[in-house]
């Protein structure tokens, strides 16, 4: 992203950097704007126009960026993520049979279950959901019917923006592990999924082909893209990926920044965005409580180890910029 191509945006990013004062998280947000290689051309131009920054409003960048995401990305019409303006980020070499997974918060679903069944709280609603899901997976008709109703209602509560997902084959051992909730959360970089705030999660699974069929109904030709800084609210846990693919890949994916230091490129999980898919009951693979807090690791270490792994995986040794550690 060429932050200097718009003087107001350039000033706003410079203001963010100047006021970071050694705050690694604030610097990470600045770096995301400065180093995303997939944002340019017409999408960048449209972004600046929608941002509508003025000379006296650099402190409003994050607020206006998040408004842009709500209005132009989390939209029931085609998100800018999947418009031709974003073609530099498109992913088109995806096999229909490939399995994708997501780890999602089920608080909204539990509210629906509680309302439907009078469970008197999320804990009891979760226990009932887990019980009925296991029965539905065994073909018990009454349970299948309940799960269908709940999932259909849940779909209506979802926002319309792109969905982050990961190829299942890259992380199958984590999916199969007894402590899959924490392992997936930590490797997928889901910092908001702390057991104290997001105690209940579901593992969702579906195929590339199912996403493509959903996209055709919305007349979206290219339903997969590498995430860019313009596709989500401002977040220090997002890290834009280089353009170069990793060894053995025919195209470049995004890479999740793990919640524990990882500098081995083979341990970085590929990530992508796809159009919204209405869930079917069979997409809910399993549900569980999140038992542990997120790892207590210095943020600058997470960021710098991830950068090292990206450089090693792509051979682009000049990519990005490290976050300074604590001052001595």
| Per-residue pLDDT at 328 | 47
Domain ranges of the chain: 3-314
Q: Any bridge partners for residue 273, and if so which?
A: 164, 225
Can you tell me which residue has the tokens 């950068």? 307
Give the pLDDT confidence of 51-82 residue by residue, as tens digits. 887 776 777 889 999 999 999 999 988 999 99
Give the pLDDT confidence of 153-171 residue by residue, as tens digits. 999 999 889 999 999 998 9
The residue ranges of DSSP E strands in the chain, in sequence order, are 99-105, 163-167, 200-207, 224-225, 254-255, 270-274, 284-289
Q: How confident is the model at residue 15 (pLDDT cuts 50, 70, 90)?
A: confident
Decide: pTM greater than 0.75: yes
Q: How confident is the model at residue 327 (pLDDT cuts 50, 70, 90)?
A: low
Q: How much is the mean pLDDT over the chain?
A: 93
Task: Produce one character per residue of 54-72: b if its CB has 16 or more CB atoms within 10 Å, e if not.
Answer: eeebbebbeebbeebbeeb
Percent of the chain scored above 90 by pLDDT? 79
């Amino acid at each position: 992203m060429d932050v200097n191509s718009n003087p107001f945006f350039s000033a706003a990013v410079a203001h963010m950097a100047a006021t970071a004062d050694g705050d690694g998280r604030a610097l990470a947000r600045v770096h995301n704007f400065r180093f995303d290689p997939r944002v340019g051309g017409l999408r960048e131009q449209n972004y600046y126009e929608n941002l509508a920054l003025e000379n006296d409003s650099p402190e409003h960048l994050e607020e206006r960026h998040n408004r842009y995401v709500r209005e132009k990305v989390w939209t029931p019409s085609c998100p800018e993520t999947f418009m031709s303006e974003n073609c530099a980020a498109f992913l088109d070499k995806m096999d229909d049979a490939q399995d994708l997974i997501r780890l999602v918060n089920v608080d909204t679903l539990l509210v629906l279950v509680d309302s439907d069944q009078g469970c008197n709280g999320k804990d009891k609603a979760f226990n009932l959901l887990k019980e009925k899901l296991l029965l539905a997976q065994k073909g018990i008709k009454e349970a299948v019917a309940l799960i269908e109703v709940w999932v259909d209602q849940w779909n209506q509560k979802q926002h319309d923006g792109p969905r982050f997902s990961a190829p299942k084959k890259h992380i199958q051992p984590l999916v199969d592990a007894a402590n899959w909730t924490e392992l997936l959360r930590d490797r997928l970089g889901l910092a908001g999924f702390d057991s104290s705030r997001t105690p209940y999660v579901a593992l969702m699974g579906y195929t590339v082909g199912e996403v493509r069929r959903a996209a055709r109904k919305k007349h979206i030709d290219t339903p997969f893209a590498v995430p860019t800084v313009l596709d989500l609210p401002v977040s220090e846990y997002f890290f834009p990926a280089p353009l170069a693919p990793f060894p053995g890949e025919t195209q470049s994916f995004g890479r999740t920044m793990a919640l524990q230091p990882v500098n081995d490129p083979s341990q970085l999980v590929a990530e992508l965005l796809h159009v919204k898919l209405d869930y079917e009951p069979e997409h809910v693979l399993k549900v569980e409580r999140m038992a542990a807090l997120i790892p207590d690791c210095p943020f600058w270490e997470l960021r710098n180890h991830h950068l090292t792994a990206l450089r090693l995986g792509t051979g682009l040794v000049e990519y990005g910029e490290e976050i300074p550690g604590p001052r001595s």
